[in-house]
């Protein structure tokens, strides 16, 4: 038995600076097996509430990260056992720094994609607005999110923009959203009649909902007009520009019928001439 243990502990020289024993290899294998079990439990814990498709995406990213963790654990374990791995540590550090600098944006995109999959802030079918662009999410990948705009253009969004920009999810609370149309009328107009006509124009559109009910807000006394905003409810905000356009047409028609004018900015110019000497 002593001879067997002696054989296990006997060091074998690999290079001038690195030597390793069979016992070191056995301990390293045991540590890696334990690490593998722990990582598998962590992955199941994180993905337990994710949809199946998102689980598969996360599993791909996790597999890459797992191999990186294995390498780190292996180097640390060997160093703890007394194996001289200083040269490997130095080479690995330099390599990782170079790769990190070269692929910084790629790593940001992938990490952001993992966050999206875990916290479920964006789902396929959501209407999102980011950096002034609006689109319906069609596919969420690890590096990018693919969305389609109202004019059927494909919008490719790098996932790191979710970390650096403000993201508006129009449909996270449901598909029903509030929208509005603003208009100004001339001073002296009957404001109660204006309110009635604005409500009529918005409620007559087939895409507006009765609940929450339509409202008119008297927003301000402008330089050339009394400013109003009619607020209404839509079931599909993605196509909101079309109901807004129709309501504007109807407002213009109703205002013409009732002799309510929409003013344009006017300026009075006073010309002062110098008296002749």
The CATH number covering residue 36 comes to 1.10.287
Same domain, 142 and 61: no
Exposed/middle/buried for 38, CB within 10 Å: 0-12, 13-18, 19+?
exposed
Give the CATH number, domain containing residue 131: 2.30.30.60
Same domain, 39 and 126: no
Helix (H, G, I), strand (E, B) or coil at 133: strand
How far are the Cα atoms of 175, 199, 217 from residue 235, in angstroms, in the given order?
6, 18, 21
pLDDT at position 89: 58
Give 117's contacts (C-beta < 8 A, 6+ positions apart). Answer: 50, 54, 57, 58, 140
Residue 155 has phi, psi (to 5 degrees) of -110, 115
Please check whether residue 216 lies inside any domain of the structure: yes
Same domain, 77 and 52: yes
Please check whether residue 270 lies inside any domain of the structure: no
pLDDT at position 263: 86
Same domain, 191 and 241: yes
Distance of CA 168 to the CA centre of its chain: 8
Contact yes or no for 214/231 (Cβ under 8 A): yes
Sheet holding 127-130, edge to edge: 154-158, 144-148, 133-140, 127-130, 167-169
pLDDT at position 38: 84
Same domain, 162 and 221: no
Q: Looking at the 3D structure of the chain, how many domains does it have?
A: 3
pLDDT at position 227: 94
Same domain, 214 and 193: yes
Please check whether residue 110 lies inside any domain of the structure: no
d(CA 54, CA 115) in angstroms, rounded, equals 11
Domain endpoint, select from 169, 185, 203: 169
Please check whether residue 111 lies inside any domain of the structure: no
Please check whether residue 44 lies inside any domain of the structure: yes
Same domain, 193 and 217: yes
pTM above threshold 0.75: no
Same domain, 156 and 192: no
Please check whether residue 276 lies inside any domain of the structure: no
Same domain, 181 and 227: yes
| Structural domain of 130 | 122-169
**11-13/226-234 β-pairing:** unpaired
Please check whether residue 55 lies inside any domain of the structure: yes
Please check whether residue 277 lies inside any domain of the structure: no
Provide the terminal-to-terminal Cα distance of the chain, rounded to the nearest Å: 128
pLDDT at position 253: 94
pLDDT in tens, 100-134: 555 567 677 777 777 777 777 787 888 888 877 88
pLDDT in tens, 155-176: 888 887 877 777 888 776 666 7
Query: Which portions of the chain are predicted below pLDDT 50?
Result: none
Same domain, 68 and 93: yes
Give the CATH number, domain containing residue 210: 3.30.70.100
Exposed/middle/buried for 67, CB within 10 Å: 0-12, 13-18, 19+?
exposed
* Short-list 124, 212, 111, 139, CA closest to 169: 124
Same domain, 164 and 181: no
d(CA 47, CA 40) in angstroms, rounded, equals 11
Same domain, 69 and 14: yes
């Amino acid at each position: 038995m002593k001879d067997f243990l002696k054989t296990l502990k006997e060091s074998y020289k690999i290079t001038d600076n690195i030597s390793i024993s069979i016992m070191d290899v056995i301990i390293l294998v045991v540590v890696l097996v334990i690490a593998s079990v722990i990582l598998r439990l962590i992955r199941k814990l994180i993905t337990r509430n994710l949809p199946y498709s998102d689980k598969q995406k996360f599993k791909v990213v996790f597999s890459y990260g797992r191999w990186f963790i294995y390498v780190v654990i292996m180097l640390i374990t060997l160093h703890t056992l007394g194996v001289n791995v200083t040269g490997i540590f130095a080479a690995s550090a330099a390599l990782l720094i170079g790769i990190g600098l070269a692929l910084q944006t790629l790593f940001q995109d992938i990490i952001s994609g993992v966050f999206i999959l875990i916290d479920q802030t964006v789902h396929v079918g959501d209407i999102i607005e980011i950096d002034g662009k609006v689109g319906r999410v069609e596919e969420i990948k690890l590096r990018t999110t693919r969305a389609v705009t109202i004019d059927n253009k494909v919008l490719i969004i790098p996932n790191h923009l979710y970390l650096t920009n403000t993201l508006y999810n129009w449909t996270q609370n449901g598909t029903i959203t509030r929208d509005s149309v603003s208009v100004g009328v001339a001073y002296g107009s009957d404001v109660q009649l204006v309110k009635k006509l604005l409500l009529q124009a918005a409620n007559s559109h087939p895409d507006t909902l009765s609940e929450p009910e339509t409202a008119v807000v008297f927003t301000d006394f402008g330089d050339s007009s009394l400013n109003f905003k009619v607020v209404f409810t839509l079931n599909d905000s993605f196509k909101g520009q079309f109901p807004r356009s129709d309501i504007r047409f109807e407002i213009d028609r109703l205002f013409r019928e009732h002799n309510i004018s929409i003013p344009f900015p006017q300026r009075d110019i006073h010309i002062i001439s110098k008296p002749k000497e």
